[in-house]
Structure 1
Amino acid sequence: MTSTAAESHPAHLGHMLLFYHMLAVASLQIFILSGNWALAKNINFYNVRPPLDPTPFPNSFKCFTCANAVDNYNCNRWAEDKWCPENTEYCLTVHRFTSHGRSTSVTKKCATRDECHFVGCHPHRETGHTECVSCCEGMICNVEIPTNHTNAVFSVMHAQRKSDGSRRTINIAVLASVITIMLL
């Protein structure tokens, strides 16, 4: 009967198992860290803003809000920073301006789908002013004001809830787990 080196030295077998275990843990850490590094290089760190307050309900959002501000700058500057009510889905903007393009009033608010049926531009015969209405979907999407038929629209985004980065991280973690199990 021949014996191998591992059978004749039980301590050597323990060292081999410890080595494989450490190799598996190191491999797992490398896979996880490489995935997080790949995600971090795609982040614009100059525009990252942590939430100031927790969201009140799932899919909640904020809009610029003001009533009859003199122009867009003053509306956005003094807009109240609060979450939209749960029954709203969009941000609505109403812009009234003269025939020379000078703003007379800007109103922005959270809106329901029904309130967004009146998008577009409409002249007012008695005042000579034009009123343009737009609606948009998304967090603080109503930064700009509508000024013509091109931007006085109902803009709805169909964004994915999960980014490619989150799926990549999950796949790397699964791969690292499988490799770890195979090495043990």
Structure 2
Amino acid sequence: MLLFCHALVGAFLPFFVLSGNWVSAKNINFYNVRPPVDPTPFPNSFKCFTCDNAVDNYNCNRWAEDRWCPESTQYCLTVHLFTDHGKSTSVTKKCATGEECHFVGCHHHRESGHTECVSCCEGMICNVEIPTNHTNAVFAVLHARRTSDGSRWTVNIAVLVSVVMIALS
């Protein structure tokens, strides 16, 4: 019996020692976050990472509140304030209306020397990353717009013609 206990300890001890490395901050994959399966408060509801003036993106995502966005919102907004050297000083994420998303982009504040980048996205917890430049400080709409009756997808004719022309060439 003693030999059996030693064998069990020898088999599982490395697992417990190594498991401490698996739980480190750099190994958390926020892209695989799945919201819990709970009833949605209204049709087409969604969640965003939400935080107010977190010190960096990791702390924002790690401690983000898990709650449904209000029905009056359609997007997730992220505001990232950082120094000239790229060090984050503030990250704010929240649910937002379309009007709040009109201010996407990056703006340099001369008086403080900081840069503020704002991005918006559409979809369930889509605001994992923070905007850091004009390339990713954008308004990313992932879903096609629906017509007023809600049953048909509207298609941009220019995009459709471009796709057909590329396919034919």
Task: State the partner residue of 2:38.
Answer: 53
Aligned residues: 115
Shift of 1:53: 1.6
Structure 2: 5+ residue runs without aligned partners? 1-31, 147-169
Letter in 1 for 2:76: C
Is contact 2:54–2:92 with CA below 8 Å preserved after alignment? yes
Is it true that 1:158 corresponds to 2:152 in the alignment?
no
Report SS of the residue matched to 1:132. strand
Give the 5 Å matches for 1:3-152: 49=34, 51-152=36-137
The CA deviation string for residues 123-175 of structure 1, in whole angstroms up to 9 with x for no partner, is 001100000000000000000000000000000012599xxxxxxxxxxxxxx
Letter in 2 for 1:77: R
Task: State the partner residue of 1:36.
Answer: none
Is contact 2:122–2:143 with CA below 8 Å preserved after alignment? no
Q: Please report the TM-score for the alignment, with normalisation by the length of structure 1.
A: 0.59
Report SS of the residue matched to 1:131. strand
Cα distance in 1 for partners of 2:53, 2:73 equals 20
Q: Which has the larger radius of gyration?
A: 1
Q: CA RMSD in A?
A: 1.9
Q: Give percent identity, aligned residues only.
A: 87
Report SS of the residue matched to 1:116. helix
Runs of 4+ more than 4 Å apart: 47-50
Could you say which structure has the greater relative contact order, defined with CA pairs below 8 angstroms and 6 or more residues apart? Answer: 1
Classify 1:160/1:122 alpha carbon distance in 2 versus 1 (closer, same or farther; 3 Å): closer
Cα distance in 1 for partners of 2:135, 2:83 equals 18
Cα distance in 1 for partners of 2:118, 2:33 equals 30
Structure 1: 5+ residue runs without aligned partners? 1-46, 162-184
Q: Please report the TM-score for the alignment, with normalisation by the length of structure 2.
A: 0.65
